[in-house]
Amino acid sequence: MIYIMYMEKRLKNIFFFVILLSSFFSLTSTVNAQEEDFIIDTNTVVNYSTGDNFATVTTDYIRNVKNSEYYFPATGEKIFHIPDIPDTSEDEIRAERKYKLESLTVKDSRGKDIDYSIEENEIGEGIYITVPNYKTTTSSSPYHIILEYKTHDYILKIGDFVNIIGPSLPKDTVFESSDEETGTLTVFNYNFTIAVDENIPPLSKAYPKYAKTEENGKQYFKFNQTDRIENSPSLEFGTSVLYKFTLQYTTPQTDNFVPEKYSSFFNALSTNVYEISLPREFEETNQRVYLESISPTPKDIYKDEEGNILALFEVPANKESKIEVIGYISVEQDSIEEQSKTFDMPLEEYFNKIKDSDYIGRYLSATKYWETNDEYIKQEAETLIKDHGTLLDVIKTDYKYINDKLEYDQNKTTSENTRIGAKAALLGGPSVCMEYADVMISLLRAQGIPSRAALGYANLREIAPDNQVRHQWVQIWVPDYGWLSVDPTFESENIKIGQMVDRILWEVFNNDSLSNIKIYSANDIVDLTTEGFVVNIYGMADKIDLESLKIYSDYTPSGEIRESQDPNISSLVGTVLKTTTLGKAILITLPVFLILIALIAVISLVSSLIKKQKRKKRGKNRERGNATIPI
pLDDT given for residue 12 in this prediction: 30
Which positions of the chain have pLDDT values less than 70? 1-34, 262-265, 526-527, 567, 574, 581-596, 617-631
Q: Domain check: are 351 and 213 in the same one?
A: no
Q: What is the DSSP string of 262-273?
A: HHTT-GGGSEEE
From start to end of 83-140, where are the E strands? 105-107, 117-120, 127-132
Indicate the residue among 444, 473, 498 that finishes a domain.
498
Residues 6+ apart with CB under 8 A from 259: 318
Q: What is the DSSP string of 8-61?
A: PPPP--B-----EE-TTS-TTS-----S-SEEEEEEEEEEE-TT-S-EEEEEEE
Q: How far is 303 from 563, CA to CA, in rounded Å?
A: 5
Q: Is residue 367 assigned to a domain? A: yes
Q: How far is 296 from 267, CA to CA, in rounded Å?
A: 14
Range of the domain at 141: 20-238
Q: How many domains is the chain built from?
A: 2
Indicate the residue among 185, 213, 238 that finishes a domain.
238
Residues 6+ apart with CB under 8 A from 70: 19, 20, 21, 22, 37, 38, 182, 184
pLDDT digits (tens, 9 = 90+) for 419-442: 999 999 999 999 999 999 999 999
Q: How far is 451 from 449, CA to CA, in rounded Å?
A: 6
CA distances from 13 to 81, 127, 155, 170, 471 (A): 6, 12, 22, 9, 33
Helix, strand, or coil here: 422? helix
Helix, strand, or coil here: 597? helix
Count CA atoms closer than 13 A to 128's CA, side-chain side: 13
Q: Domain check: are 231 and 355 in the same one?
A: no
pLDDT given for residue 325 in this prediction: 98
Q: Is residue 382 assigned to a domain? A: yes
Q: Is residue 470 assigned to a domain? A: yes
pLDDT given for residue 475 in this prediction: 98
Residues 6+ apart with CB under 8 A from 81: 11, 12, 13, 14, 126, 127, 128, 129
Q: How far is 298 from 488, CA to CA, in rounded Å?
A: 36
Nearest to 370 by CA among 449, 315, 458, 304: 449
pLDDT given for residue 593 in this prediction: 59
Q: Is residue 521 assigned to a domain? A: no
Nearest to 481 by CA among 341, 331, 332: 341
pLDDT given for residue 620 in this prediction: 61
What pTM, to 2 d.p., does this model score? 0.84
Q: Is residue 116 assigned to a domain? A: yes
Alpha helix stretches (DSSP H) within 105-236: none
CATH number of the domain within which 226 lies: 2.60.40
Residues 6+ apart with CB under 8 A from 551: 289, 290, 291
pLDDT given for residue 24 in this prediction: 26
Q: How far is 506 from 49, CA to CA, in rounded Å?
A: 33
pLDDT given for residue 258 in this prediction: 83
Helix, strand, or coil here: 144? strand
pLDDT given for residue 269 in this prediction: 81
Q: How far is 5 from 459, CA to CA, in rounded Å?
A: 7
Q: Is residue 156 assigned to a domain? A: yes
Q: Is residue 113 assigned to a domain? A: yes
CATH number of the domain within which 386 lies: 3.10.620.30
Residues 6+ apart with CB under 8 A from 190: 13, 42, 44, 169, 173, 175, 225, 228
Q: Domain check: are 374 and 231 in the same one?
A: no
Sign of CA dihedral 450, 456, 459, 462: negative
Contact 371, 422 (CB under 8 A): yes
- The residue count of the chain comes to 631
b/e 422-447 (16+ beta carbons within 10 angstroms → b): bbbbbeebbbbbbbbbbbbbbbbbbb
Q: Is residue 170 assigned to a domain? A: yes
pLDDT given for residue 610 in this prediction: 76
Indicate the residue among 205, 238, 271 that finishes a domain.
238
Sign of CA dihedral 109, 111, 114, 117: positive
